[in-house]
Structure 1
């Protein structure tokens, strides 16, 4: 990966990690569904002028698939994360929800009957051990824990759906409309699942405008566009390995911005989850491929 793509990849992961403490700060003046509806509808509308001339879905089924991805990616994932941060730290939420690559391999094996190498299943086991360790092995029924873990599961399903359907769409069109659909669904659901509120505090106006602006411009538009650019111009397998930086940046930014405590077992669990995610995403060559490549290199050296 060249230095430019490396910088873009790391900056995307940094923004993804910062989303957690920024989101927790936003909860002081808005309810989760309303905040996320503003974020995704605002980001989708800002992207519309730039995607109008790009290829759009043409059938009702295609639009339904985009809406389904929006339901999981924008609505369920982020709702789980924001609600979880009402009862657990932003660092814990980032660690638990970032288990999505582990859930991806589990769901793809169960739903699509995809076969994975033993090393990848070892990564799944290490990742789940890291989840337990990050919580001090006290997996009680604390609601925030389950919401954050549920967000990771929804994220894994969203990745599975995007991997299966996403190639049929322009990536920027998909990003914009899945956010719009997700934001509209959240706006409709808000009165049924929460006590909606959004309050501008004149004494905190700059802070609140900055947070909303960050959520729309950085957390949504910048993050999606930069990540899609990296995936188009770099090896996706190598790029995905950087996802393990999200829980690290999330935990560290929660400690730096919100003063959240970093327990030793939280850090140990985070490292286990990172290792598990790395093993899950690590490309494994089968013996036949390795033999062929070895033979090719031998022939090349003989020349």
Structure 2
């Protein structure tokens, strides 16, 4: 029964996070990109702060190390990731599927950053090949034209790549901090700080409330991203992280593009191109090469429990 529960939650998380790319593209018709991201985490932060107050004995970070964890989460995992992602997706060349596939490079980049920043981690020759294979996938997706680097969506796609890099770097940096903090507390305060930063960035870019067009579609997109993809999604993620471990949960990144492509096709009439599929296959192959030892250990552990 537990295995079925884990499978259902895994598919639910992939569906929530995959369809979030579609909801972003849908909402960008009504909101300036960074302000949209800030609104998303205004709501998610309130929900998560309330949840943390209910389930955590002390929902407020107290030490310098705890606030460092929150700062890393707010700056990189929330603000930088979503600024790059939402601005990148505001370009019509960046479909829901393309954005999801580019973000799926994040587990590969996480390993690379870990090997560079954590003394105990080293990237082997085969792991380096895996990284290069993953980057080939990015090149296939972005298709940069040396004579026109600013055209055909190349820069927006690279912004989505930077979003994946920011998330990966933030994930690794949290492991370098000598402090422990309940996940609910870290997520809630990181969301609050990230939202505040994004409001500042939005103001600096000249975005304003006057550009917002309130409609039923706008409210549905914002509500889905805030409650479904963020609040519920992160709770499911951390529940599965405890049950499955980091290797299996990383596979969500490779199932989510399927839901992104399907939801984008159903709701936004986005097309799924062969280039997107080929780019995804290269990125997934890179993941398998970089994570091969961890995957082998995970398979052995799974067989031993059968």
**TM bin (shorter chain):** 0.7 to 0.9
The yes-or-no answer on 1:57 pairing with 2:61 is yes
Pair 1:107–1:194, CA change in 2 (3 A): farther
Alignment-derived partner of residue 301 in structure 1: none
The yes-or-no answer on 1:83 pairing with 2:87 is yes
Deviation readout 1:153-207 (Å, 9 max, x if unpaired)? 1011121123344971101111111111100111122111242235344xxx322
Answer yes or no: is the 8 Å Cα contact 1:95–1:251 preserved in 2: no
- 1:178 alignment partner, one of 187, 190, 202: 190
Alignment-derived partner of residue 98 in structure 1: 104
Partner-residue secondary structure (3-state), 1:283: helix
Structure 1 unpaired stretches of 5+: 298-303
The yes-or-no answer on 1:162 pairing with 2:167 is no
- 1:248 alignment partner, one of 241, 255, 258: 258
Query: 1:272 & 1:218 partners in 2: Cα distance?
Result: 30
| TM-score (ref. length: structure 1) | 0.85
Pair 1:243–1:165, CA change in 2 (3 A): farther
| TM-score (ref. length: structure 2) | 0.84
Query: 1:45 & 1:284 partners in 2: Cα distance?
Result: 36
Alignment-derived partner of residue 31 in structure 1: 32
How many residues align? The count is 286
> How far is the alpha carbon of 1:61 from its aligned partner?
4.1
Answer yes or no: is the 8 Å Cα contact 1:166–1:174 preserved in 2: no
The yes-or-no answer on 1:124 pairing with 2:127 is no
Alignment of 1:199-210 (within 5 A): 199-201=212-214, 205-210=215-220
Answer yes or no: is the 8 Å Cα contact 2:72–2:174 preserved in 1: no
Answer yes or no: is the 8 Å Cα contact 1:136–1:266 preserved in 2: no
Alignment-derived partner of residue 240 in structure 2: 230
> How far is the alpha carbon of 1:248 from its aligned partner?
3.2
RMSD: 2.5
Per mean C-alpha deviation after superposition, the further-off stretch among 100-109 and 189-198 is 189-198
Query: 2:64 & 2:207 partners in 1: Cα distance?
Result: 33
Partner-residue secondary structure (3-state), 1:168: coil
> How far is the alpha carbon of 1:136 from its aligned partner?
4.6
Answer yes or no: is the 8 Å Cα contact 1:17–1:247 preserved in 2: yes
Deviation readout 1:231-272 (Å, 9 max, x if unpaired)? 112233222233211233323332332222222122111122
Query: 2:133 & 2:263 partners in 1: Cα distance?
Result: 24
Alignment-derived partner of residue 15 in structure 2: 14
- 2:118 alignment partner, one of 107, 112, 116: 112
Query: 2:129 & 2:57 partners in 1: Cα distance?
Result: 42
Runs of 4 or more consecutive aligned structure 1 residues displaced over 4 Å after TM superposition: 136-139
Alignment-derived partner of residue 268 in structure 2: 258
